[in-house]
Structure 1
């Protein structure tokens, strides 16, 4: 298949342009200046910062609060971590380039948020960020896909927010765009909520719940009294499960190998595996 010139340009830009986080993972160090420059050349890409207006929308969409721990993968000049800290959210940036780590630390000190904002030099694929309840990133699709298995193994309910690039077949739970007046390029962000893993057979009183899971989406059957009823509107949202069967609405919460909830808002139900 041939690409039109415009499509080829878009594809090239998609390979070359990334946010602070991607530049941090892939650049050769530019020792001529300790300050990042828009469009600065790196090993494979050039550096483009996330617009402050989109950072704000990303934090809003993540519903980040002081009870969370935010980790920014490839934190670049530190703006996302610092913006989170200004909201009272403990935040940590993992950055490959040591000069950008120093830039970020100075910016955090200037903003007066060093008690909440931490930065460390490291490779995001070798770092432990399992404590995060919110993960932010601005990475190319190939890097997102490399991270996807790690993210899916995080605690159910962890929110993942990405600037501009998706997670392949893992469809986002939400998306936002920054106001055009405050953001000219790379102005869309996507959010995913890490789902609990529920694929398989679950025993219920007098029946069995069989689930087939594709990320947060579910299919399956509810078997009871010799009947098998197909599920509809079935999905996960973190540890919360919802589905309909035989005209009844089931909601519940998953905790390890147990589910508990209500049917039609009042009748209790539970399942184990």
Structure 2
């Protein structure tokens, strides 16, 4: 059975004393469309009158969290974010501010091991019930935790719907993750770290909403020795400038561990492995670089 949580429960959340700031930052038309969506729990999920209050908990759109208010994410956006990250069953996903658990549950239904980090304990319990109802309680787990204090190092994919200011606070921690870790954000940027890809999502929104993807780059800034020459690299996130000998390198960038650049008319492609890089040259031939 497909996962069909109510649009009102389809969410992204986090923490927040400055809860009103998200209302200014979110695209008004996207939010308006979500608020206008009908609310209806499946008949089999309607809480019985005799159930405990915690089991009948229903979150309100716009309710305050620790740093941001809770605003739902359309299922089409959830699917787009996972598609952009090219998730596979081998991946481990972590959703920061997991709300009612929709992203985590959707990932689990694709075969991933997925975990939601959520500060609101009622949301955590709601997510667990949703996962159990959808038959993915073993693959989809949830933890009541502060996202700033959470260990992100085991994740291959991180999803989030947080304010730009919070994304920027998380950015140094994210950049220390293993190269190739994929980060996908609903709507909001990461300061001056330009995304590797963006895609618009119109369905379920009256105007376009944006999914943004970043791939954590390897660290290559500095001096390398390659074929008896010096390769000097200057790194700004995934973008590179520098010289190979006396020649400027061009079209240079990182895609996780993968590095590409052109020097003296030759295209170099390689993979970074700690203090060494190895790869091939356009037209044939191999190359290896070692940190000086």
Answer yes or no: same fold by TM over 0.5. Answer: yes
> For residue 12 of structure 1, what is the aligned residue in structure 2?
none
Aligned length, in residue pairs: 247
TM-score scaled to structure 1, two decimals? 0.86
Structure 1 residue runs without a partner (length 5+): 1-18
Query: Is 1:203 the equivalent of 2:203?
Result: no
Matched-pair contact (CA < 8 Å) for 1:70–1:91: yes
> For residue 16 of structure 2, what is the aligned residue in structure 1?
26
Q: Indicate the RMSD between aligned Cα atoms, in angstroms.
A: 2.0
Cα offsets for 1:190-230 (capped at 9, x unmatched): 0000000000000112111000000000000001xxxx000
Q: 1:43 to 1:60 in 2, by over 3 A?
A: closer
Q: 1:37 to 1:242 in 2, by over 3 A?
A: same
Q: 1:94 to 1:45 in 2, by over 3 A?
A: closer
**Partner Cα separation in structure 2 for residue 44 and residue 102 of structure 1:** 20
**Partner Cα separation in structure 1 for residue 143 and residue 207 of structure 2:** 28
Cα offsets for 1:147-166 (capped at 9, x unmatched): 00011000000000000000
Shift of 1:42: 5.0
Query: Is 1:50 the equivalent of 2:73?
Result: yes
Q: 1:186 to 1:76 in 2, by over 3 A?
A: farther
**Partner Cα separation in structure 2 for residue 134 and residue 244 of structure 1:** 30
Q: 1:255 to 1:125 in 2, by over 3 A?
A: same
TM-score scaled to structure 2, two decimals? 0.80
SS state at 1:26 partner? coil
Structure 2 residue runs without a partner (length 5+): 1-9, 19-52
Cα offsets for 1:5-26 (capped at 9, x unmatched): xxxxxxxxxxxxxx9444x322
Matched-pair contact (CA < 8 Å) for 2:167–2:190: yes
**Partner Cα separation in structure 2 for residue 141 and residue 169 of structure 1:** 11
Q: 1:107 to 1:37 in 2, by over 3 A?
A: same
Query: Is 1:109 the equivalent of 2:132?
Result: yes
SS state at 1:54 partner? helix
Matched-pair contact (CA < 8 Å) for 2:15–2:67: no
Which contiguous aligned blocks of 4+ residues in structure 1 show a shift greater than 6 angstroms?
A: none
